[in-house]
Structure 1
Amino acid sequence: MADTTEDSNFIFSRKAIVLTLEIALCLIATICKAMSFGCYLWGSIVELVWAIIIFIVYAMKLDVLLRFLPWTDFFRAITGTLLLFICSLVCLKFAVTNEFSMEIAGSVFGLLAATVFGFDTLCIIKQIKELNEESNIILI
């Protein structure tokens, strides 16, 4: 019988859509910031690379081999939220005072990416909580 659960096809799962959105927004923010030669380009690049790595790990179903992956993913998402939020606010203030339009666009996409990373953080917290409840049931 065919398995039609969310785990059987990662590409169409909510996690894949969120990771794809994170990758796309970080890529757009990186391109906009690179075009303006603005500030803090490295933040969006680091989060872009981490999102691609996590996407590949989940797509290749290596998450069943790595027990610590939900926590790694949690720290990636929470640092992405904080890093992109703070860097985008600083760059937005810098761009508005100096009237750099591409830097403003990059900062706005960085803030959108920070929002998506925040949503991913909340989803990961829910996933970790469910994993802990399952492990407590098995141990009893």
Structure 2
Amino acid sequence: MVDTKEDNQPFSATEQNTNFIWSPKGKILALEITICAIATICKAVSFVCYLWGCITELVWAIFMFIVYAMDLQTYMHLSLMYLQWLDFFRATTGSLILLVTSLVCLSWGRESAGEVFGSIFALLAAAALGYDAFGIIKYIKNLKQQGNC
């Protein structure tokens, strides 16, 4: 008998989700979620510094992870280019917000260890978001060159 399924097609939704999780984009989003969660917990211990930046980026990263993992852009009738630009906007604004708020928090004071560690983890999250933004721009350029806009 001839197998009608191609080798590169996932067999189930679970396999499709796990394939995304182990992709480079899935790993970057998982890293962003983890670092933002750690920064949120550390900053929540000391109620002194800006907490909203970490929480906002954590929620956005979880949302984008779900959209990519479950392939929801096809169900929401979003074009691939729109989703990539939305992800780029998320990554750049998140990187800038976390960078600025972390530097401000580090310059204000060092009374609380949670504040310092939270700011350091937020700087790491800003670096991960910046890396993600550069990867997204590279992907968008490749899509435009292939004519898939």
Q: TM-score, normalised by structure 1?
A: 0.89
Q: Distance in 2 between matches of 1:135 and 1:46?
A: 33
Q: Distance in 1 between matches of 2:65 and 2:22?
A: 12
Task: Please state whether the residue corresponding to 1:91 is helix, strand or coil.
Answer: helix
Q: Is 1:18 equivalent to 2:32 in the alignment?
A: no
Q: Distance in 1 between matches of 2:9 and 2:23?
A: 11
Q: Which structure: greater helix fraction?
A: 1
| Residue ranges of structure 1 left out of the alignment (5+ in a row) | none
Which stretch of the first structure deviates more once superposed, 101-110 or 33-42? 33-42
Using the TM superposition, give the Cα deviation of residue 95 of structure 1 relative to its aligned residue in structure 2, in angstroms.
3.0
Superposed, which structure 2 residues align to 1:96-135 within 5 Å? 96=110, 99-135=111-147
Q: Distance in 1 between matches of 2:83 and 2:139?
A: 11
Q: 2:7 aligns with which of 2, 6, 20?
A: 2
Q: 2:44 aligns with which of 29, 34, 40?
A: 34
Q: Distance in 2 between matches of 1:95 and 1:41?
A: 16
- Give the total of aligned pairs: 133
- Letter matched to residue 90 of structure 1: V
Q: Distance in 1 between matches of 2:147 and 2:120?
A: 41
Task: Please state whether the residue corresponding to 2:147 is helix, strand or coil.
Answer: helix
Which stretch of the first structure deviates more once superposed, 86-95 or 70-79? 86-95
- Letter matched to residue 109 of structure 2: A
- Letter matched to residue 120 of structure 2: V
Task: Please state whether the residue corresponding to 2:48 is helix, strand or coil.
Answer: coil
Using the TM superposition, give the Cα deviation of residue 62 of structure 1 relative to its aligned residue in structure 2, in angstroms.
2.1
Question: Larger C-alpha radius of gyration, 1 or 2?
Answer: 2
Q: In 2, are the aligned partners of 1:95 and 1:101 still within 8 Å (CA)? A: no
Q: 1:74 aligns with which of 83, 88, 101?
A: 88
Using the TM superposition, give the Cα deviation of residue 24 of structure 1 relative to its aligned residue in structure 2, in angstroms.
0.5
Q: TM-score, normalised by structure 2?
A: 0.84
Task: Please state whether the residue corresponding to 2:28 is helix, strand or coil.
Answer: helix
Percent identity for Structure 1 against Structure 2: 55
Q: Distance in 2 between matches of 1:38 and 1:118?
A: 26
| Residue ranges of structure 2 left out of the alignment (5+ in a row) | 1-5, 11-15
Tell me the equivalent position of 2:101. 87
Q: 1:46 aligns with which of 31, 50, 56?
A: 56
